[in-house]
Amino acid sequence: MTFDERALAFPCQGEQLYGILSLPEHAATRGVLIIVGGPQYRAGSHRQFALLARHLAAQGIPTMRFDYRGMGDSQGDQRNFEEAEDDIRAAVDHFFDSVPGLQEVVIWGLCDAASAAAFYGHRDARVRGLVLLNPWVRTEHGLAQAFLKRYYFQRVLEAGLWRKILRGDFDFVAACRSFTSLLRTARPRATGDASVANASEESQSPAASLPGRMYDGLRRFEGQVMLILSGDDMTAQEFSELVSSSRKWRQLIKSRKIIRRKLPGANHTFSRQVWRDQVATWTVEWIRAW
């Protein structure tokens, strides 16, 4: 299907945001808004978001991508994903203004953009779907757990490690100090009221932690969710560890509104074409399935 691309400019809190709309000749009533995570702009790493937008548009799905204030071409001071609500709302408003017949929108986000989508989705009735790739839920405790299970397990299986040990080049003292420090950070800490108060994010209020606020946002969201995790990514591993360690998270992830996909071997940004193509295919299939 043929599509056009056009530059967009729209206001947000007195400043101008800029983006790109990929509009099919015969557009579906459900569109995709790609939001950006980390120090990125609307093209994405290895032009990931540009390629995705064009793929979706070629399948008849109108797609918009844009720069937050302070990023790319947009005006204003740089802000992080926890301060993006006004920017996302302004983009959704302009998306609807720019696409006649648009009835609902899916927000697509990678890393901390996935977290921003989870914060925002339940606040806007026009948002009926979320695609969350490798959501950012970092805490010191969660990172330590993921690092212990991912890095150390793989490390002991590496031939290079054992060659260093046999040569006498391995610093056992430094390694033990590092390992002990990680164990202290990763293990549950007792308090006067509960022995696992800090062991699981489910013991914390939504305002107290990033994982808690993520959980609250997804719990409140009434639309459909597709969760995509890379098989070779620490951020994805941290999210998986969070879910496995929390009864509330496990129950939420098993709900009918959430489907899960995992791409073995893929890195954080799905940098190979085969990985990007698979993510794009999953996105189109899922959008058409409900």
DSSP code, position 82: G
d(CA 183, CA 145): 8
- Domain spans in the chain, listed from the N-terminal domain onward: 3-139+209-288, 141-186
Amino acid, single-letter form, for residue 233: D
Mean pLDDT value of segment 95-104? 97
pLDDT of the residue at 155 = 56
Q: Given CA atoms 271, 65, 9, 14 in this order, what sign does their dihedral have?
A: negative
pLDDT of the residue at 192 = 36
- Give tens-digit pLDDT for 28-81: 999 999 999 877 889 998 999 999 999 999 999 999 999 999 999 999 998 889
| Mean pLDDT taken over the chain | 85
Question: 6 by DSSP, 3-state: which?
Answer: strand
d(CA 261, CA 224): 14
13-22, 105-114, 158-167, 176-185: the lowest-pLDDT one: 176-185
- Token pair 């925002």 is at which residue? 120
- Give tens-digit pLDDT for 196-244: 334 344 444 444 689 999 999 999 999 999 999 999 999 999 999 999 9
Query: Nearest 10 degrees: CA dihedral of 194, 196, 197, 198?
Result: 160
pLDDT of the residue at 158 = 61
Q: Among 3.40.50.1820, 3.40.50.300, 3.40.50.280, 3.40.250.10, what is the CATH number of 3-139+209-288?
A: 3.40.50.1820
**What is the DSSP secondary-structure string of 150-165?**
IIIHHHHT-HHHHHHH
Q: What is the pTM of this model?
A: 0.81
The β-bridge relationship of strands 3-12 and 15-24 is: antiparallel
